[in-house]
Structure 1
Amino acid sequence: MRRANALTFLLVTVFVDMLGLGLIVPIVPALLTELTAGPARAVLWSGLLGTVFGLFQFAASPLLGRLSDRYGRRPVLLLSLGCLGVDWLAHAIAGSPWALLAVHALAGACAGTNTVVNAYIADVTPPERRARAFGLIGAAFGLGFVAGPTIGGLLGAVDVRLPFFAAAALSFANLAYGRFVLPESRPGDRTTPLTLRTTNPVSAIAAVLRRPVLGRLARARLCADIARMIQQATWAFFLTFRFGWGTAHVGLVIAGTALAGALFQARAVGPVVRRFGEKRTAIGGGLLTVTTFAGTAFASTPAQLYLLLSVGVLSAAGGAAAQSWISATAGADEQGTVQGALSAIGAVAETAVPLTASAAFGALLAYGKPGLIFVVAAIFAAASTTFLARTPIDAKREARP
């Protein structure tokens, strides 16, 4: 029962995280325009806030992961939830963008939710059931992404700051929920050293990359993150320019795809991984992703695009399988450390790719070839799949260097 309560809380946590983010996505431009007195400065501040958040997340993720190995998952996860609530509350009451920048930097430094959730699942779920658990986490992520913007748009129509109050309330409610129902999955080991070498992001990433199996899986994760961020940064613009769709049509396509992906991950990931295994599922998902991106680059009709999106939904099993594979390769006493290093790697992509991809998309658009940005995404997805294919499946719990 305690394990079931824990998994339910983790699912709620991921859902609330994405719901809170989705609540404020449609409203951030209006709030920043109000605070900065102009749309041009609002865009600049929006980019600055995102970059600062990503940089602080990059710097702090290995430390948070290491702390969860030393002191347990529960306190680190609850700290992250509390900081998130403070961040949303600051957005609701801030009178200047500088105040937002300071609090958003703190939120980035405390952004350990994904790190600790992944480590927690590895603690409480047997290896043969982890892919299903990670699939459920992906489903909660997708459902929050679908629900958030819709609710945020409705609340924002009442008052531009109301979605931020709602997001803060959800975060604090989830914090209180976790305080009472979340058991500790791993008490921690006070002998786990906290040194500059083990907690700074450069050393933490290097330590993972030096390991034969985890290093390849980490490189595969980085390439997959880059491909995903290229799509996220340019997707709405691509649909607008290629097919001439309005915002409502684009929103429906994005929401429909996210919902289909969530349902597939919730229902099908476990059986697929049991049938084909982690490695083959991860590689298969990667190949489907390559097909989706490469096909999207040259899709000329909505029917072709919808077919490719259907293929993309099936690729979701690959990410859950790869995450399960990573957790099985890491030792029980280092799940937080490894997940923290992977979160830092992801933060690099989330910080650098949106700006780079947007600039590249703008250049390609000037030449009338906007779809070529998805060729680039397909190349990174292919590189990720290649790393997965070259990684041995039987070298689990590999010796650390």
Structure 2
Amino acid sequence: MRRADALSFLLFTVFLDMLGLGLIVPIVPALLTELTADPGRAVLWSGLLGTTFGLLQFGASPLLGRLADRYGRRPVLLLSLACLGVDWLAHALAGSPWTLLLFHAVAGACAGTGTVVNAYLADVTPPEGRARAYGLVGAAFGLGFVAGPTIGGLLGAVDVRLPFFAAAALSFANLAYGRLILPESRPGDRTTPLTARTTNPLGAIAALLRRPVLGRLAGARLCADLARMIQQATWAFFLTYRFAWTTTHVGLVIAASALAGALFQARAVGPIVRRLGEKRTAVAGGLLSVTVFAGTAFASTPWQLYVLLVVGVPASAGGAAAQSWISATAGAGEQGTVQGALSAIGAVAETVVPLAAGAAFGALLAYGKPGLIFVVAAACAATATLLLATTSTERPPIGA
């Protein structure tokens, strides 16, 4: 299989991963309400499912990354795809919320797609081409985000369980495709130790943070994730409050922003990084993010928000550049380990921030100052940018 074919498969995997998630997001509330016969209990179960998935992903991500270094990328990626397909099928067939909780927990423990895709790309892409490759990953993610909810809403109008069958079918089809054609990118190193210290999330994150360059880059990633999750958790509510937008209006704006970001990452990230370098691009993207978050906090008219959305499109180059920088800093034999620790860090943000940001937004709303939540996001993004700007571009020795 040629490198271009492998890249196509990985991008398709990311697209289907996000498409499958997007398919079911609009439908989960209806399914849980059907299973519990109580909207109040459905909300509680929805929160429990999300938290359980995040906690299991946090606990298992370093192990999956370590397994990818020891046994190869391919088996871990195929396991993740299989667990995801089983999870969606369980959603389609479940007769109780406890069934969903069990299978969703297993899927969280096997959620290694992002870890393995990032490590695989580092294996098969030369350093000078990684920013473009990670930009394409971001584009595939964005396109899946746009298409998923639309298709899910249409299928859910026919039957509430139909989107889950569709998501499961997509996952299993991709699993079969990968099983037949995807080669191993890097033979596993059986000398890679699997110990409690190297595979537990706290130990893996601590080991990463102790490293001078990777530790600062990981800290920047955490701060950027915090800012991103604050926005995701509160943005729709903020727009509804500040501008009285309908859900349709909010949805269209989100979809348009995601589509513009995907097209930009697909076409522009590579040339920008070649011209500016990874560090300058990452810092520039961070500064644009700070501008967008701070501006959103004080935007008083829709046109101001539209301008900020346009400014936010090129900010997406910063994430791809930072990911390329991280992969180039890590040694060739530890890409899975590093990406697994980063996935655990991301899982922390995705598990904790929605609850905390939602509570903070509610408190600020009571005082008529909901925009201040984006000041917090801007502070997180500014901290990430400062870490990036003050980090060395040191590379590991060749062969490390």
Which TM-score band applies after superposition, normalised by the shorter structure? over 0.9
1:397 corresponds to: 396
1:18, distance to aligned residue in structure 2 (A): 0.3
Query: 3-state SS of the aligned residue for 2:268?
Result: helix
2:3 corresponds to: 3
1:169, distance to aligned residue in structure 2 (A): 0.2
Q: Is 1:69–1:188's contact at 8 Å kept on the other side of the alignment? A: yes
TM-score of the pair, normalised by structure 2: 0.99
1:282, distance to aligned residue in structure 2 (A): 0.1
CA distance in 2, matches of 1:325, 1:353: 26
Verify: 1:308 aligned to 2:303, yes or no.
Answer: no
CA distance in 2, matches of 1:135, 1:39: 40
* CA separation of 1:398 and 1:220: change in aligned 2, threshold 3 A: farther
1:77 corresponds to: 77
CA distance in 2, matches of 1:356, 1:210: 27
2:261 corresponds to: 261
CA distance in 2, matches of 1:366, 1:32: 30
CA distance in 1, matches of 2:348, 2:214: 18
Alignment of 1:1-400 (within 5 A): 2-393=2-393, 395-397=394-396
TM-score of the pair, normalised by structure 1: 0.98
CA distance in 1, matches of 2:49, 2:397: 39
Bigger drift between 176-185 and 318-327 goes to 176-185
Residue-by-residue CA offset, 1:134-171 (whole Å, 9 max, x unaligned): 00000000000000000000000000000000000000
Q: Is 1:87–1:104's contact at 8 Å kept on the other side of the alignment? A: yes
Over the aligned positions, Cα root-mean-square deviation in angstroms equals 0.8
1:181, distance to aligned residue in structure 2 (A): 1.6
Q: Is 1:2–1:183's contact at 8 Å kept on the other side of the alignment? A: no
1:2, distance to aligned residue in structure 2 (A): 1.7
The runs of at least 4 aligned residues of structure 1 exceeding 2 Å deviation read: none
1:370, distance to aligned residue in structure 2 (A): 1.0
Residue ranges of structure 1 left out of the alignment (5+ in a row): none
CA distance in 1, matches of 2:25, 2:264: 25
Query: 3-state SS of the aligned residue for 1:300?
Result: coil
Residue-by-residue CA offset, 1:312-365 (whole Å, 9 max, x unaligned): 111000000000000000000000000000000000000000000000001111
CA distance in 2, matches of 1:32, 1:360: 26
1:48, distance to aligned residue in structure 2 (A): 0.5
Query: 3-state SS of the aligned residue for 1:315?
Result: helix
Residue-by-residue CA offset, 1:189-224 (whole Å, 9 max, x unaligned): 111111111111111000000000000000000000
Q: Is 1:35–1:97's contact at 8 Å kept on the other side of the alignment? A: yes
1:38, distance to aligned residue in structure 2 (A): 1.0
Q: Residue 36 of structure 2 aligns to which amino acid in structure 1?
A: T
CA distance in 1, matches of 2:173, 2:344: 27
Residue-by-residue CA offset, 1:251-300 (whole Å, 9 max, x unaligned): 00000000000000000000000000000000000000000000000001
CA distance in 1, matches of 2:91, 2:62: 27
- Number of aligned residue pairs: 398
CA distance in 2, matches of 1:215, 1:259: 32
1:398, distance to aligned residue in structure 2 (A): 6.8
CA distance in 2, matches of 1:237, 1:148: 21
Q: Is 1:330–1:398's contact at 8 Å kept on the other side of the alignment? A: no
Q: Residue 265 of structure 2 aligns to which amino acid in structure 1?
A: Q
CA distance in 1, matches of 2:370, 2:294: 13
Identity among equivalent positions (%) equals: 84
Query: 3-state SS of the aligned residue for 1:396?
Result: coil
